[in-house]
Structure 1
Amino acid sequence: MSDSILTKVILALISAGFGFAFAVILDWIKARREPKTELSWEAEISNSLVSVRQDIFAKVRVLYNEHQVSRLAVMKCRISNTGNRVVKEERVRFTFPKEVKILENFFDPKPERELGVAELEDAREESSERIYTIAHLESTMQVTFQFVLDGNVPADWSPHAFNEHGDVLFQKRDLSRVREDKEHLQPFLVIVLTLLLIPPVLRNLIVDLGDLAASGATLILLALLVPHIVPVTRLLTNLIANERHTDRKIHIKDANSVILGDHSAVRIHSSSIGKNEQEDKSVV
C-alpha cells in the first residue's frame, strides 16, 4: 500500500473517530434537553439531640416550648425540582411512626408566596403526619420543611408524594444525582479515548502542520471534556468512599437550662445535684 493511500485511510479513521465522539456528545445533549418532570427529596435527620447521664436521668426534664419531651429530634426535608419542567399541584405527605410526636413544623426558609405552598390541615388522618401542597415549582427551585419531634425517626424514613396530573418522578436526591452523573460517564470515556489517540496520530501524520493540528484537536477535546469532569469525579468518589454523618447532640452531666437553635428554645431543668460534680455541656 502506497503512502498516499495509507494517509487517506488514517485520515478517514481519524474523521470517523471525531464523528463518533461528536455523535455521542450530541446524543448526550439531546437527552439532557428532553422533557423531564422530576422532584427529588433529601432529609437530614438528627435523632436524640439531648442525651442525659443515667445517674441523673430522673432529675432532668427537657422542655420544648413548655412541652416535656423524652427524645428530642430534628428533621429537615428539602424537596427540589431537579427536572427541566415546571411541577404543579404536587401533594406531599410527611408521616412519622405513631410513637413520634410532632412538636413543631415550619418552613426553613419560608417559601415565596408565588409557589403556593400550604399545609392541608383538614387532610390529616393521624396526629403524626403533616400534608402540604405545592402549587407551582419551577426547575431548580426548592422548598425546605423542618420538623421538631419527640421520638426517633427511622433511618429508612421517606416522604410520600402524589400529583393528580401524573408523570412526575419523585425520588431521593442521592438516586437522582447518581443517575445524572452516570449520564456523563459515556461521553467522558469517549472524549478521553479520542484525546489519547487522535492528537498523537495527527502529530506524526501531517509533516508540516502536525503539531498545530494536534494542538487544535487537543484544545477542542479538552473543552468538550470539562463539563463531564466534576460529575464523573463525584461518581467515582461515591463508589470508593462511604459518606459519614454525625448527628449534633447535647451531652448533659449537670445543667439548669440550654437553648438549642434560633427558632425555638429547649430548656433542660434538673434538681440539685451534688456540689462535687462539674458542669459539662458540649454541642457536637
Structure 2
Amino acid sequence: MSVLQLAAGQGLSDLQQKFVVALVSAIIGASATLLVHMLKARAEPRKRISWDSSFDPGFAAIDDPEIQEKLNVTYDDVDVKNIFSIKYRVSNTGNRAIKDQRFRFKFADGTQVLETYMSPTPEPELKVELERNSNPQEVIYKVGHLERDQNVHFRFVVAGDTADQWKAVPSNEEGDVEVEKKGVAQRKEDRMHIGPFTMSLFLFLTVPYSITSSMIPDGIAEALATITRFTFLGYMLFHLAPVARTLRDLFSKSEAARPGGDYNSVAHRGGTIVVVGDGGYIKGNVGVQPPDEED
C-alpha cells in the first residue's frame, strides 16, 4: 500500500495528501543520501602518510661559553659538541597500501651525522632499505611496502651548531600520496563536519515543530515528526565525533595560551641554577651560591 493510499484512508484532503507524500519522499531521500555519503566516505581510495618528529638536545641548556669550553665529548672516537637525537616517525593513515615511498633526510653543512639507525627494527615485509648516496649531508631511505596503520621509525644522532637545520623530503614515483604532519589531515577533515552538523541540529529543532504545527491531523503529524527527528538525529550522530574532536582541540589551544610562569636557565661556575617564576630557584650540584644568597 502506497503512502498516497494511506493518506487517503485517513480522510485527508488532496492538498494534505500531496503534502504528506512530499514530506515522506523528502525523509526517504535524506536517509538514502546519508547512507550513500557514509559508504562513500569509507570506500574512497586515499593514500596518506602522517609524520611526527622530535629533536632532543644533549647540552643545549648549558649556554655559558666558559662552561661549554670545558665540555669534551667523544662519540665513537670522534670529538663532538652539541650532540642531538632526531626521531622521525611515519605512519600509513590512509586506506590503501603505499609502495616505494622514499624519504630523503637533508642536513645542513657543518652538521655531523654520527649515527643512522631504525628503532624498532622494521619487519622484513616492509622492505626498508638505506640507499647509497654520495652526499654526506643526506640520508635516503626507501620503504618498499607500507600497509594501513603500519609505521616506521627513523633515528639519527647528529652534532654541530647547525644540527637543528634539517628536513625530510618525501617522494613517490607513483604520486598521489598525501604527506602531512600527524593530526593536520585529521583536523582538516574534522572541521569540514561543523557545517553539516550545525545544519542538522537546526533542522532537528525546527522541522518537527513545523510538521506538528501544520495542517496535517495530529496523529499523522506526530508520526512524521518522530521519523524526521530520527532522520536528522542520524545526520548529527554521523558528524558528532569529528565536531567533538574539533571542540576539544579549540579548548586545548585556549588552555595552552593562558599565561604561565617564566622559566629561565642561568649558568654559574659550579653548576646551573634554574630560576622559576618570581625568583625562586632549583639548585643542582651547585658549588658556588647564587649572587643574591652569598653572605
**Deviation sequence 1:239-276 (CA, Å, 0-9, x none):** 6737969xxxx997657xxxxxxxxxxxxxxxxx9954
- Closer, same or farther in 2 for the Cα pair 1:180/1:66, shift >3 Å? farther
- Closer, same or farther in 2 for the Cα pair 1:112/1:61, shift >3 Å? same
TM-score, normalising length: structure 2: 0.67
Q: Are residues 1:23 and 2:33 paired?
A: yes
Tell me which residue corresponds to 1:42: 52
Aligned-pair identity in percent equals 29
2: CA distance between counterparts of 1:227 and 1:101? 51
- Closer, same or farther in 2 for the Cα pair 1:183/1:204, shift >3 Å? same
Aligned counterpart in structure 2 of residue 96 of structure 1, from 107, 120, 123: 107
Counterpart AA for 1:27: H
Correspondence list, 1:48-67, <5 A: 50-54=60-64, 55-64=66-75, 67=78
Larger radius of gyration: 2
Tell me which residue corresponds to 1:234: 245
Pairwise CA RMSD: 3.8
Aligned counterpart in structure 1 of residue 172 of structure 2, from 163, 172, 176: 163
1: CA distance between counterparts of 2:156 and 2:266? 21
1:77 shift after superposition: 1.4
Structure showing greater relative contact order (alpha-carbon pairs closer than 8 Å, 6 or more residues apart): 1
Aligned counterpart in structure 2 of residue 144 of structure 1, from 124, 138, 153: 153
Deviates more, 1:225-234 or 1:70-79: 225-234
Tell me which residue corresponds to 1:270: none
Is this contact kept in 1: 2:31–2:231, CA < 8 A? no
Tell me which residue corresponds to 1:109: 120
* Aligned residue-pair number: 252
Counterpart AA for 1:76: K
1: CA distance between counterparts of 2:27 and 2:227? 15
Is this contact kept in 1: 2:27–2:228, CA < 8 A? no
**Deviation sequence 1:54-107 (CA, Å, 0-9, x none):** 143322334555644322322221212122111112121111212222222322
Unaligned runs of 5+ residues in structure 2 are 1-11, 258-264, 272-284, 291-295
Is this contact kept in 2: 1:17–1:194, CA < 8 A? no
1: CA distance between counterparts of 2:105 and 2:77? 24
- Closer, same or farther in 2 for the Cα pair 1:198/1:46, shift >3 Å? farther
Q: Are residues 1:197 and 2:206 paired?
A: yes
Deviates more, 1:132-141 or 1:61-70: 61-70
- Closer, same or farther in 2 for the Cα pair 1:180/1:135, shift >3 Å? same
2: CA distance between counterparts of 1:41 and 1:243? 25
TM-score, normalising length: structure 1: 0.69
Aligned counterpart in structure 1 of residue 189 of structure 2, from 172, 176, 180: 180
